[in-house]
Structure 1
């Protein structure tokens, strides 16, 4: 007799994402503290390293040596290296032991001359490391003396010249969000294809216990940190609408779980745990075992670690169900269920490539330490079949009739125009380009059609910075001018057609920058639907080390006449809001016309309706039709750097550099034939309505001339006496509240031998808020916005524009 299963029986619940973010915040604090002390010890060690072929080679050797010692500290302090490393045993002894544990964890360094390291320098570093507790569990919490394997990746990415390589330490909540919203949708999509009743199971679970799958922050009944009453009402309205949708089984496709920010991992586990048909579990387990997950620029393995932690409970749920009937599955006697799961994941699911051998080594080490953590006591796990490789993911053949790498290298070198009969030139080309032939390295995957899930954080490096080292053949990287575009294009080429899910953390320029138009065209042509979550850097940013506006790009591979696009607004947050930032993500489906091929950033359907009114109003025309070539005495000056406010005035702002009065840099002029037109447009540019337009189509900071020119201007605005009067009053108030700011720049490469003393007028539009709201009231009446739409415009980003005070 088959017993009814309920969700309550599901073991191994996920921790809440708020708790996960709290733990990550604590671990980040510990990591920063350790790194500050580590830097001092590292410099002491580096000063003792001598005899290398060059200072650069000595630096590289020291970094790699230090990171290897961190790895060995984890092994030693958890009983995997006996006897003690400091008790006189040679490096050969350690290397032999590691070779038995798992080959490839400590590859020989390619050095022209081996540097010398005094024993006393190593002893000092050992003394420093012995002050800490080295725990194998990535999720462990503890004091500032407790370190987890994540610290190896943290140290590596901090010491790998971030600006030069374009690599940054990626927080676990980010890697988890991107990985779970690609891996789990892929799993459920494939399960539904092979077991059509899956969607019925999903809809039943969502209907019966909807709050189980809605993010806790969304359904929270009180004010969240820094949340305003208006934000609270909008959040509660979203919650009620989502609750109704789940209770009425309005979720009809799996990808809607991404759009509505459901807890898809919990949902997938519950499907496995509660289904009445064991055939469903068998199918799900087979899909898991065959799933291939690639990070084409894996670095120290942050995304692959996230993928591992997502797959673990899914495997576990399947095995617990299958072991209810022992004849359905058998595990090796030597392995616990957790060890078996981890071996399956490491050998079947995870694939990574990186140009830096050090990164590949660390990635393997972190994954290996995860496996060791599952053993109840130290023993030899035996060799693993790694799918983590060193090479240039952008240089090499995807498909080939044969898999001899030497033959492929020669063929590719000839495609680059190199005469391969000169051995010295050929070896130099191989060294600089590091060709990686997917057909040879992963033949089974490529014969199957490509990878199922592709995730990662590609380097944000201008192509011009690497062109001297290696070049790319024709593609998006060369045309767009940045390597991240080339990585996304390669990811599309490596995807299984109509099947794969992709998830990458990329610069916000993917949404609107004109030079990335080719990339956006490729994405529309080769994905059936895609999601963009967009993040500002003010008042806070995702990466503390990088002033880089970013987007989460998620996509489902496929072709569609009109691919579906889902977007967020440009998100801002205070530090107190960071724990809930990703929980509160919600997407709006795009239906408004694209402006210059850019992806709009929308906060809600209401946001889109307001823009539609502007764009579809018959009495509007592009603002540039009101301009004259100029110059004339009727002008507007506005600053390209916009951020929270568009600062437009009817005079040239005060600016003095090294005592010389001059026109401010990074400004633009608009010229008009009539004075009234200049005043009307000046009022418009300072309005919240124009800020909404700017925030929708810009990168959140730079106001392009094109964006100003394309604003849909209502013809009647140029003849409205009330708007003219308000504009003149606004000019007076802006000047009245302006203050002179002095800035002294430091000596640097740009300013050569001396710094600059700059005085400039800073305008404070927030002081003119009542007047600006009256301007927006006039605009709302002109564009026929109702009271709710006007309230939305006035309230958009108000908390950040006005400041918490």
Structure 2
């Protein structure tokens, strides 16, 4: 087998040049202190760029010869061959590193003597570890990019590494997480017919904070599959809901298409359940005319599409019934398997929404229903309940219903809640409190009745109602839920 010299390359994916155009900008910044669009390129700049590209081509030719000697010719690769290649590569890397450092304010023009410049440059080099795709994979980048990129980037807030290194020129910088930057960089490295696939947090397609990343997706055909963190996990020890996003460029003459799956749960204790997980994936096309709180809802079947279309056909949202002079309803912002809303605030995890008094009982029933649990799952990060999911919930005309029906259901549910209340200590890195907890499973018969009443107002079929009542029921009602998470 050939040795692996030069076949595995290390560096910071996010810092470095990917194209000659970027180098041109850095050259003029370093030499003249101006971006290229503010001045005409001088002949010396053009000569520098030509020399850099010729060096990159020369190094790439050596790489090709190196691989050919290893794999095809059966020839010998000597230590001298390796040293010569490393020498040429290091010389070009050093030149590009100095141009790149100038974009970070480290230019020889800014220092009165060489020693302080070299010290600052060495510190920057050690912290940023630039990786120049333009020279490391010159032929590939010159031909348009990679055919396939796959990966599992770090799920790390940018603020945690910003003291070590910073990024430049990323559209997704406001997303504030390294995985968003890696996705942007990956998409910039694939060719027009190439494919990219990354395992990233479900927040990437389920939160407003990732809107810049989601805007990048508009130029690609996409397949998003979604995975829970309870009870089973894709990666043991990683307590995070995840999405596998697969993207490829689309033909400009056709519309951009997005495909989605269900939000999948499974038990790690059931080997066959986990082993068959990817075989059971079912994608559906997300229609462009379905406008929800989230741009990429986690829908996985035709019945779910029918339910959401029927809800949207009513033309109303809970926000239409907001009334600053009305009654306050508090929705629980946490929990996993059940959703709760109460007339009183029990902890800081309960967030207020002020509803017109006439529609208060109906809104209470809506936010405690299994229908809302399903709607929340398809639109959210599946951990937090935020205003977006509450206010944008599609509803029927709440002023044109018999409030007495909802009043009885609300009182029945509150009564059941009160008989299954416990005090549960929560001790963690962020949360350290004693919290009132409800065993909501015991209230399921009443919640089922709420959903039956809601189904009549929405106009759901029997099959659609059955789907809502039994949604995720295996994990919400079984021992799996009890053993792996709180009942609330």
TM-score range, shorter chain: 0.7 to 0.9
- Counterpart position of 1:555: 247
SS at match of 2:229: coil
- Are residues 742 and 610 of structure 1, via their aligned partners in 2, closer, same or farther at CA, if it must alter by over 3 Å? closer
Q: CA deviation at 1:586?
A: 0.9
Match 2:410 to one of 727, 730, 733: 727
The 5-angstrom pairing of residues 368-383 of structure 1 reads: 381-383=1-3
Answer whether contact 1:717 1:782 (CA < 8 A) is retained. no
Match of 1:151 in 2: none
- 1:452 is paired with a residue whose SS is strand
Deviations 1:614-654 (A, max 9, x none): 1122xx32211212225x5x32122101311111122333x
Q: What residue in structure 2 maps to residue 775 of structure 1? A: 450
Give 2:360's aligned residue. Answer: 678
Answer yes or no: is 1:693 the counterpart of 2:375. Answer: yes
State the match for 2:274 in structure 1.
578
1:700: Cα distance to partner? Answer: 1.2
User: Is 1:436 matched up with 2:131?
Assistant: yes
**Aligned residue in 2 for 1:666:** 349
**Residues 665/517 of structure 1: CA separation in 2 closer, same or farther (3 Å cut):** same
Per-residue deviation at 1:511? 0.9
Q: Does 1:797 align with 2:472?
A: yes
Distance 1:745 1:784, change over 3 A: closer
Q: Equivalents in 1 of 2:414, 2:296: separation in Å? A: 34
Of residues 690-699 and 418-427 in structure 1, the stretch that sits farther from structure 2 once superposed is 418-427
Local SS of the residue matching 2:280: coil
Contact 1:647 1:763 in 2 (8 A): no
- State the shift of 1:406 in Å: 2.4
Task: Identify the residue that residue 569 of structure 1 maps to in structure 2.
Answer: 262
Indicate how the Cα distance of structure 1 residues 716 and 681 shifts in structure 2: closer, same or farther if over 3 A, else same.
Answer: closer
Change (3 A) 1:382 1:792: closer
Partner of 1:490: 185
The answer (yes or no) to whether the contact 2:424–2:437 under 8 Å persists in 1 is no
780-789 or 555-564: which moved more? 555-564
* Paired position in structure 1 for 2:85: none
- Alignment of 1:445 with 2:128, yes or no, is no
In 1, Cα distance between equivalents of 2:309 and 2:2: 62
Report SS of the residue matched to 2:239: coil
Q: What is the correspondence of 1:590-739 to structure 2 with a 5 Å cutoff? A: 590-591=286-287, 592-596=289-293, 598-617=295-314, 620-630=315-325, 634-653=327-346, 664-674=347-357, 676-716=358-398, 719-720=401-402, 721-738=404-421
Name the CA shift for 1:745/1:512 in 2 (closer, same or farther; >3 Å).
closer
Indicate the residue corresponding to 1:390 in structure 2: 10
Show CA shifts across 1:396-415 (max 9, x none).
Answer: 11112423222211211112
Instruction: Note the alpha carbon deviations across 1:513-532, whole angstroms, 9 max, x for none.
Output: 1121111111112x1x1111
Residues 457-483 of structure 1, C-alpha deviations (whole Å, 9 max, x = no match)? 011111111111111002145221011
CA pair 673-438 structure 1, distance change in 2 beyond 3 A: closer
Return the match for 2:210 from 502, 516, 519: 516
- The answer for the alignment partner of 2:441 in structure 1 is 766
Q: How far does residue 766 in structure 1 lie from its aligned partner after superposition?
A: 1.4
Q: What is the correspondence of 1:159-198 to structure 2 with a 5 Å cutoff?
A: none
Counterpart in 2 of 1:460?
155
Could you give the per-residue CA deviations for residues 75-119 of structure 1, whole angstroms, max 9, x where no partner exists? Answer: xxxxxxxxxxxxxxxxxxxxxxxxxxxxxxxxxxxxxxxxxxxxx
What is the rounded CA distance, in whole Å, between the counterparts of 1:559 and 1:482 in structure 2? 30
Q: CA deviation at 1:533?
A: 0.8
CA apart distance, 1:384: 4.8
Q: Distance in 1 between matches of 2:330 and 2:324?
A: 15
Q: Displacement, 1:442?
A: 1.3
Distance 1:760 1:510 in 2: 30
What does residue 377 of structure 1 align with?
none
Q: CA 1:573–1:489 in structure 2 vs 1: closer, same or farther (change >3 Å)?
A: same
User: Structure 1 residues 597 and 780, CA, compared in 2 at 3 Å: closer, same or farther?
Assistant: closer
Q: Alignment partner of 2:345: what SS?
A: coil
**Structure 2: how far apart are the matches of 1:387 and 1:716?**
64
TM-score, normalising length from structure 2?
A: 0.78
Could you tell me which residue of structure 2 aligns to residue 507 of structure 1?
201
TM superposition shift of 1:682: 0.7
Deviation string 1:501-560 (CA, Å, 9 cap, x unpaired) is: 1111111111111121111111112x1x11111111112211221111111111122354
CA shift in 2, pair 1:477/1:469, >3 Å: farther
CA contact (8 A) 2:293 2:379 kept: no
Provide closer, same or farther for how the CA distance between residues 432 and 559 of structure 1 changes in structure 2, counting only shifts above 3 A: farther
CA separation in 1, counterparts of 2:474 and 2:399? 29
Any conservation in 2 of the 1:477–1:483 contact (CA below 8 Å)?
A: no
SS of structure 1 residue aligned to 2:436: strand
Contact 2:262–2:282 (Cα < 8 Å) also in 1? no
Q: 1:537 to 1:597 in 2, by over 3 A?
A: closer
The Cα of 1:382 is off from its aligned counterpart by: 4.9
Distance 1:396 1:627, change over 3 A: same
* Compared CA separation, residues 744 and 488, structure 1 to 2 (3 A): closer
Distance (Å, rounded) in 2 between the aligned partners of 1:743 and 1:484:
33
Structure 1 position 688, deviation (Å): 1.3
Query: Quick check: 1:689–1:793 contact (8 Å CA) kept in 2?
Result: yes
Between structures 1 and 2, the one with greater strand share: 2
Could you list the per-position Cα deviations for residues 568-600 of structure 1 after superposition, in whole angstroms to 9, with x for gaps in the alignment?
Answer: 121111221212222211111111524345310
C-alpha RMSD over aligned residues: 2.0
C-alpha displacement of 1:718:
6.1
Over 3 Å counting, the alpha-carbon distance change for 1:502 and 1:785 in structure 2 is: same
Pick one of 459, 466, 469 that aligns with 1:784: 459
SS of the residue corresponding to residue 323 of structure 2 reads coil
- Give the match's secondary structure for 1:389: coil
Q: How many residues align?
A: 399
